[in-house]
Amino acid sequence: MFSSIKLNEDEKVYIQIKNYIKDMILRGMLQKDEKLPSTRELSNIIDVSRNTVVNAYEYLKEEGFIYTVRGKGAFVAYSKITSQEIWNIDWENRLTDYAKKAENMDIVKHEKVWTKGMISFKSIAPDNNLFDIEDFKRAFLNIISLEGDKILNYGYAKGYKYLIEYLMEYMKNKGVDVKNKDILITNGFTEGFEIVLSSLTKEGDNVICENPTHNTAIKIMRLHNLNIIGVNANNNGIQLEDFENKLKKSKAKLIYIIPSYHNPTGMVMSPEKRVKIYEISKKYEIPIVEDGFNEELRYSGAHVSPIAALSGEGNSVIYVGSFSKVLFPGIRIGWVLADKNLISYMESIKRSKNIHTSFLDQAVLYQYLKEGNFDKYMKKARKVYKDKYEFALKCANKYIPCKKVYGEGGLHIFIKLDNLNARTLLDSCCKKNVIFTPGDIFYIDKNGWDTFRLGFSRVEKEDIEKGFKIIGDEIKKLNSIKVVE
């Protein structure tokens, strides 16, 4: 039995021996009180040093699987018990509507997925190749030697103090008056937005947003059973007249707005329009939740303040920011800046949901930022993305026959087709190994069937051109079929 242990080179030998014996015990092949071979015998059988076996036995004893009797040897301490009859539950029948809805709206599960050899324009995640891993490593080593034991133990729900202070300064540098405001650190935008909704809305409440808007925001609002009222934002961004009408009638609890490099349209709201949005919201006393999405990516032109900066000393704008969209999404750090008292409630909600965001990640990010790496990184990233954006725009105009190409920067452009269904197009492009995100998922009504989003951040220029050309060819093909019909 013991001679059949197969040792590999990946793992420490004593761990392999330990696990092998444990497995035999757990599977009932070694019975309770059965004697194990002596360490000398076993070391001969499997041809390892006796010390290694001694070590393995020690851990088995430590973990309660064997016991030793002085002068007699080692014995099995465990007896396997399992229930005789198998008890299976039909979980499908026990799931809540919430679970089914979450699964149903999970685009990762229901949309086309990338397979090898495909050109995918689905992602708007940053390009890994731009990450300055060495700077990140240095920041990690610096902070871990400064306070490694502390940041590896429990922290505070509101977040890592120094990161919060840094972000307060960061928001001040965007023109936001931070007096009487505070910051809650969250696991990215998604959690931040969900906590805002949990604080201020309940089932059936009205909320207002641009239509189209960020699909994850739509998903979260739907999972909260909110009544979503969309303001037309199809052509030149949000329509002010429609906006005011909807505010007037709706008694909405919140307005959700993405002013910069809007997802999916890629539009940037002008400073003048931001002021108007703010003034109208004030008139009807409906607070604004501003999504700081990709605001960091501004390629050119004058600095545009977030709406949160317009409110001055006022407390009526909630700003949800995230580094995940431009820098290290894998570490999931976002923040909510809002009225101090409101943040205090959100802090308790955060604590009830997952105690706090990883303190290691917060501390390393803080150190990375403090060491001045972010400016350096953004300078490089902006240049690369600007270049890609301009190239993508050129290619889109050259190859893709459509009604309009949207997008003023960021990591994606948005296409409105000329009376062609984007999902039909996706099906035929997919056969040619090109995929993208159909636009309908960004709409809260039946619109958007003729639109799609092209993310280019992680696609090489060569493939951008190749992919756009294929999309263009497929459009032409589908149009010619239509004409013939």
- Secondary element (H or E) of residue 236: none
- Which residue bears the tokens 């052509």? 235
CB of 211 to its own copies, least distance (A): 20
Comparing C-alpha atoms, which of 389, 174, 379, 435 is closest to residue 261? 389
* Residue closer to its own copies (CB basis): 168 or 405: 168
Least separation in angstroms between CB 250 and its own copies: 15
**Between 35 and 404, whose beta carbon lies closer to its own copies?**
35
Nearer to its own copies, 96 or 419 (CB): 96
Q: How far is the CB of 315 from its own copies (least distance, A)?
A: 5
Nearest approach in angstroms of CB 394 to its own copies is: 23
Q: How far is the CB of 268 from its own copies (least distance, A)?
A: 12
The DSSP annotation for 142-157 comes to HHHHHHHHHHTS---T
Minimum distance from residue 477 beta carbon to its own copies (Å)? 33
Of residues 81 and 483, the one with the C-beta less far from its own copies: 81
Measured from the CB atom, the residue of 252 and 400 that comes closer to its own copies is 252
One-letter identity of residue 98: Y
The span from the CA of 265 to the CA of 143, in Å, is 39
What amino acid occupies position 39? T
Distance CA 238, CA 30 (A): 71
- The token pair that represents 40 in the structure block: 């000398």
- The three-class DSSP label of residue 286 is coil
Taking the least distance from each CB to its own copies, the nearer of 219 and 416 is 219
Report the distance separating Cα 217 and Cα 442, nearest Å.
Answer: 9
Minimal distance, residue 418 CB to its own copies, in Å: 33
Least distance to its own copies from the beta carbon of 17, Å? 13
Sheet with 451-455: list strands edge to edge. Answer: 404-406, 412-416, 451-455, 437-438
366 versus 399: smaller Cβ distance to its own copies? 366
Cβ 426 to its own copies shortest distance, Å: 21
Min dist CB 136 to its own copies, Å, is 7
72 versus 94: smaller Cβ distance to its own copies:
94
Comparing CB distances to its own copies, the nearer of 7 and 141 is 141
Examine residue 287 and say whether the peptide bond preceding it is cis (omega within 30 degrees of 0).
Answer: no
Do the beta carbons of residue 229 and residue 263 sit within 8 Å?
no
Cβ 421 to its own copies, closest distance in Å? 26
The residue (of 332 and 416) whose beta carbon lies closer to its own copies is 332
DSSP letter string over 449-481? TTEEEEE-TTS-HHHHHHHHHHHHHHHHHHHHH
Kindly state the smallest distance separating residue 138's Cβ from its own copies, in Å: 11
Nearer of residues 128 and 397 to its own copies, judged by Cβ: 128
Give the separation between CA 144 and CA 148, rounded to whole angstroms: 4
The DSSP line for 365-420 is HHHHHHTTHHHHHHHHHHHHHHHHHHHHHHHHHHH---SEEE-SSTTEEEEE-SS-
54 torsion bin: left (phi>0), alpha (psi -120 to 50), beta (else): alpha
Q: Residue 12 in contact with residue 48, Cβ under 8 Å? A: no
- Report the alpha-carbon distance of residue 362 to residue 370 in Å, rounded: 12
Strands across the sheet containing 254-257: 181-186, 334-339, 317-322, 288-291, 254-257, 206-211, 227-232
Residues ≥6 apart with Cβ < 8 Å to 404: 415, 416
Helix, strand, coil proportions of the chain in percent (round to 5)?
Answer: 50, 15, 40
DSSP assignment string, 318-377: EEEEESTTTS-GGG--EEEEEEHHHHHHHHHHHHHHHSSS-HHHHHHHHHHHHTTHHHHH
Q: Please, which residue, 199 or 239, has the CB nearer to its own copies?
A: 199
Task: Identify which of residues 276 and 432 has a Cβ nearer to its own copies in the complex.
Answer: 276
In angstroms, give the least distance from the CB of 441 to its own copies: 14
Reading the block at residue 302, the tokens are 């004058």
